[in-house]
Every structure is written in C-alpha cells, then in structure tokens.
C-alpha cells in the first residue's frame, strides 16, 4: 500500500512539474510574441499591419519547423551522442 502511495505521489509531482514547466514556456512564448511583433512594427511603415503579420507568421513557422527537426533528431539519437554534441 505504501509503495503504491509513493508511486502516485511521484506521478502527481511529475505532473505538477510538467504543468509548471509548460506554463513558464507559454509565458516566455507570449513575451517573445510581443517582442517580435514590436520589432517587425518598427521596420514596417504605418498601415502595413497585414504585411507585418504575414512576416511574423512566416518567421515563427520557420523557427518552429527548425526547432521541431532539431528536437526530433536529438530524441532519436542515443544519449552518449547527445552529450558529446552538446559539449562540442
């Protein structure tokens, strides 16, 4: 009974940690969202809101695709190889 309780406690703590990490990631993403939009708005003339949104969407899509590819490759490789690449 105690072993099961400890397992459940461990799962609950892991879930809470995952939720907190995700929440902080969302906060960071929202901050970057505003920063990138402000940066694009500085370089585009007034009245070109649609163009700014399109540039922003393309930029974020490219970053998301590259990040997904990098993460996918890192997950598929053995741990020893990952550690060596990070250090190098």
Predicted confidence band of residue 85 (pLDDT cuts 50, 70, 90): low
What is the pLDDT confidence band of residue 86, given thresholds at 50, 70 and 90? low
How do residues 1-43 score in pLDDT, each as one tens digit? 788 888 888 888 889 998 999 999 999 999 988 898 888 888 8
Residues 43 and 50: their CA atoms lie apart, in Å, by 14
Residue 50 CB contacts under 8 Å (≥ 6 apart), including other chains? none
Q: What angle do CA 19, 25, 27 make, to 5 degrees?
A: 105
Does the predicted TM-score (pTM) go above 0.75? no
Mean pLDDT of 45-51: 79
């Amino acid at each position: 009974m105690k072993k099961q309780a400890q397992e459940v406690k461990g799962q609950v703590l892991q879930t809470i940690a995952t939720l907190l990490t995700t929440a902080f990631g969302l906060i960071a993403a929202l901050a970057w969202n505003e920063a990138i939009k402000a940066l694009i708005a500085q370089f585009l003339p007034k009245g070109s809101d649609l163009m700014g949104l399109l540039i922003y969407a393309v930029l974020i899509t490219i970053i998301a695709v590259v990040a997904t590819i990098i993460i996918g490759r890192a997950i598929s490789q053995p741990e020893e190889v990952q550690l060596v690449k990070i250090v190098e």
